[in-house]
């Protein structure tokens, strides 16, 4: 423990406002207000500098699967730091990276046996694109470079990952982005086109067939990969319709396109399985992961790759011409192993599977509110879509959305003691992704806070 005296609140705020640059944040909003400052975490809760408690309904940022304040996991990192704090995976291995790769390969479906570590989700997404491009060069199909992904899907912010992200507003200031990003429909059944709006299976078949049409339009010989999340986050948790991924797999096989399951959010228990693809019964060619692999006790990302994709890289003088200094950091690997130990010892997957029905049912109670249009998701991952008119599903215009989300809901939910996300990158939604240790008492607390704040929001409209 540091012996330095605790810093007083006012001077910390001052320094935060003067020196710290927050991500995706309007700093002008803090001209006359404090920046929220979280100082401590314990289990499902975090605490601010005044000691006020908040239920962490978003696991920080879809990260803290095992919850906060686990000294055993933190200590695993500290022990590793003392033993070997750093050595690169460039030409060398170290035991924790090997053990973690072996363990992840044992969890992964099919022949996904090879792990390439990164330090973040964006790097994982971008690495998978580079791997695919170089793979096709090595296997005699050098014209394949394009990547398909879904409208309003978020796949990260570095230039390559941003080219795959399907959110025009966050791409625009950085155009031109790397060429080759192509959009296909997402699986938002609540907003399905009229001709499939009554039949979720037909909707899923249509959305998957649109992928085939996009591949044919672009020219199959130019398409390298498609990136899909098991449950799409951005837009508010779109689960896949039954049969969707099976049809996508068929299409990818037919046209030689690699299926990348972007599981930066959906892996490590979020959907009750180590990997989200298991829940929906498909085997991708690559899984990208980050966040929950360490539950945030250290940063880490990576990709699981099939033996088939590794094969050309094992031949002759070839190597994957890509790497980052801190990938597979020994401390992060040790923490990830300790995190996975917690998953096993405390049966967190079992907890999610046993309680997800209760979580859904508790959130669905909110459907009696006039502002709640749709409650959707799977596992411990839910989106609540807000509407102006339930009968017509009319959404809010930009101005209303701005007043509702930024002007009121985001602050009001936090002030009421709930960390969650009010987002309008698609239609306005509130997103929940709590620690996997949550049980009914936490679901009830979320529901009560949401009920009270959403009722006030409706009254203000
Ligand atoms: C599906 C998905 N892919 C990629 C990313 C980017 O991850 P990171 O923020 O670690 O770069 C995210 C981040 O939320 C994500 O949700």
- Lookup result for tokens 């401590």: 40
For residues 261 and 284, is the Cβ–Cβ distance under 8 A? yes
Does residue 416 contact residue 452 with C-beta atoms inside 8 Å?
yes
Q: Measured in whole angstroms, how far is the alpha carbon of residue 181 from the centre of its chain?
A: 20
Counting from 1 in the atom list of ligand 1, the atom nearest the Cα of 153 is 1
Instruction: Give the per-residue pLDDT at 426.
Output: 85
* CB of residue 186 inside a 6 A radius of ligand 1: no
Distance 265 CA to ligand 1 centre (A): 7
Q: Is the CB of 120 under 6 A from ligand 1?
A: yes
Closest CA to 260 of 141, 410, 146, 414: 146
Decide: 267 in ligand 1 pocket, CB within 6 A. no
- What CA dihedral angle connects 99, 104, 106 and 110, to 10 degrees? -140
351 lines ligand 1 (CB under 6 A): no
The reply to whether ligand 1 has any atom less than 6 angstroms from the CB of 122 is yes
Q: Is the CB of 423 under 6 A from ligand 1?
A: no
User: pTM of the predicted model, to two decimals?
Assistant: 0.97
**Residues 6 or more apart whose Cβ sits within 8 Å of residue 405:** 422, 423, 424, 428
Q: How far, in Å, from the CA of 398 to the mean position of ligand 1?
A: 26
* 129 in contact with ligand 1, CB cutoff 6 A: no
CA of 334 to the centre of ligand 1 (A): 22
**DSSP per-residue letters across 157-170:** SSHHHHHH---HHH
Indicate if ligand 1 lies below 6 Å from the C-beta of 59.
no
Residue 253: which H helix or E strand, with range? helix 244-255
User: Among residues 58, 53, 225, which one has the least CA distance to residue 148?
Assistant: 225
Structure tokens at 107: 């969890």
Q: What is the position in ligand 1's atom list of the atom closest to the CA of 123?
A: 11
**Cβ(156)–Cβ(162) under 8 Å?**
yes
170 alpha carbon, distance to own chain's centre: 17
Q: Is 212 in the pocket of ligand 1 (CB under 6 A)?
A: no
* The predicted structure's pLDDT at residue 2: 46
- Token pair recorded at residue 13: 């705020």
Ligand 1 centroid to Cα of residue 345, in Å, is 27
pLDDT, position 258: 98
Query: Is the CB of 294 inside a 6 Å radius of any atom of ligand 1?
Result: no
Mutate to test the pocket of ligand 1, among 229, 264, 266 (most ligand atoms within 8 A of CB): 264
Residue-level pLDDT at 461: 83
Comparing CA positions, the residue from 305, 301, 266 lying closest to residue 123 is 301
DSSP, collapsed to helix, strand or coil, labels residue 177 as coil
Q: How many CB atoms lie within 10 A of CB 205?
A: 17
**Chain mean pLDDT for the chain:** 96
**Is 119:326 a contact under the CB 8 Å cutoff?**
yes
Contacts of 376-379 with CB under 8 Å at 24 or more apart are: 376/189, 376/190, 376/236, 376/237, 376/238, 376/239, 377/231, 377/237, 377/239, 377/432, 378/231, 378/237, 378/239, 378/271, 378/279, 379/231, 379/269, 379/270, 379/271, 379/272, 379/279, 379/352
d(CA 121, CA 288): 7
Q: Is any atom of ligand 1 closer than 6 Å to the C-beta of 121?
A: yes
Structure tokens at 455: 């009722």
CA neighbor of 234 nearest in space, from 433, 16, 442, 450 = 433
Of 288, 289, 285, whose CA–CA distance to 309 is shortest? 285
Distances (CA, A) of 40 to 48, 56, 69, 70, 247: 7, 12, 8, 12, 45
Q: What is the pLDDT at residue 207?
A: 98
Ligand 1, residue 262: give the atom nearest the CA: 1
Say yes or no: CB of residue 264 within 6 Å of ligand 1.
yes
pLDDT in the model for residue 3:
47
The DSSP output letter for 388 is: S
Q: What is the mean pLDDT of each run of 10 residues along the chain (461 residues)?
A: 67 96 94 95 97 98 98 98 98 98 98 98 98 98 98 98 97 97 98 98 98 98 98 97 98 98 98 98 98 98 98 96 98 98 98 98 98 98 97 93 88 97 90 98 98 95 83
Give the tens place of pLDDT for each residue, 427-455: 899 999 999 999 999 999 999 999 999 99
Based on C-alpha coordinates, what's the Rg of the chain?
Answer: 22
63: left (phi over 0), alpha (psi -120 to 50) or beta: alpha
Distance 183 CA to ligand 1 centre (A): 18
**Residue 167: how many CA atoms within 13 Å on its side-chain side?**
20
The contacts of residue 220 (CB under 8 Å, 6+ apart) are 255, 256, 257
127 C-alpha vs ligand 1 centroid, how far in Å? 13
Cα 264 to ligand 1 centroid, rounded to whole Å: 6
């Amino acid at each position: 423990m540091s012996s330095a005296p605790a810093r007083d609140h006012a001077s910390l705020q001052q320094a935060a406002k003067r020196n710290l640059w927050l991500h995706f944040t309007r700093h002008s909003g803090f001209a006359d207000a404090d920046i929220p400052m979280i100082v401590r975490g314990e289990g499902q809760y975090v605490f601010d500098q005044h000691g006020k408690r908040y239920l962490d309904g978003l696991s920080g940022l879809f990260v803290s699967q095992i919850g906060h304040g686990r000294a055993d996991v933190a200590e695993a990192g500290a022990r590793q730091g003392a033993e070997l704090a750093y050595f690169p995976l460039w030409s060398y291995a170290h035991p924790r990276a090997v053990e973690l790769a072996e363990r992840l390969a044992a969890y992964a479906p099919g022949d996904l046996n090879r792990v390439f570590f990164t330090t973040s989700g964006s790097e994982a997404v971008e690495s998978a694109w580079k791997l695919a491009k170089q793979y096709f060069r090595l296997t005699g199909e050098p014209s394949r470079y394009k990547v398909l992904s879904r409208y309003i899907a978020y796949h990260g912010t570095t230039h390559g990952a941003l080219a795959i992200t399907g959110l025009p507003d966050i791409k625009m200031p950085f155009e031109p982005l790397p060429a080759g990003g192509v959009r296909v429909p997402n699986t938002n059944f609540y907003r399905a086109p009229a001709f499939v709006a009554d039949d979720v299976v037909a909707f899923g078949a249509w959305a998957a067939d649109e992928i085939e049409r996009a591949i044919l339009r672009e020219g199959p010989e130019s398409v390298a990969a498609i990136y899909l999340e098991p449950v799409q986050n951005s837009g508010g948790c779109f689960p896949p319709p039954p049969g969707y991924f099976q049809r996508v797999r068929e299409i990818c096989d037919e046209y030689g396109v690699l299926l990348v399951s972007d599981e930066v959010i959906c892996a490590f228990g979020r959907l009750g399985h180590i990997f989200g693809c298991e829940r929906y019964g498909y085997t991708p060619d690559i899984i990208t992961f980050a966040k929950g692999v360490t539950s945030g006790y250290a940063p880490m990302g990576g990709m699981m790759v099939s033996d088939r994709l590794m094969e050309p890289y094992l031949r002759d003088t070839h190597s994957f011409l890509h790497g980052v200094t801190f990938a597979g950091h020994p401390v992060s690997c040790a923490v990830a192993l300790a995190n996975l130990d917690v998953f096993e010892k405390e049966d967190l997957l079992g907890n999610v599977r046993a309680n997800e029905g209760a979580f859904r049912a508790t959130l669905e109670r909110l459907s009696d509110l006039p502002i709640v249009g749709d409650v959707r998701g799977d596992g411990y991952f839910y989106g609540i879509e807000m509407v102006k008119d339930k009968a017509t599903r009319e959404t809010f215009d930009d101005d209303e959305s701005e007043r509702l989300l930024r002007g009121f809901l985001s602050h009001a939910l936090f002030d009421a003691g709930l960390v969650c996300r009010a987002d309008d990158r698609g239609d306005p939604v509130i997103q929940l992704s709590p620690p996997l240790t949550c049980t009914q008492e936490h679901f009830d607390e979320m529901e009560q806070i949401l009920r009270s704040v959403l009722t006030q929001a409706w009254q203000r409209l």
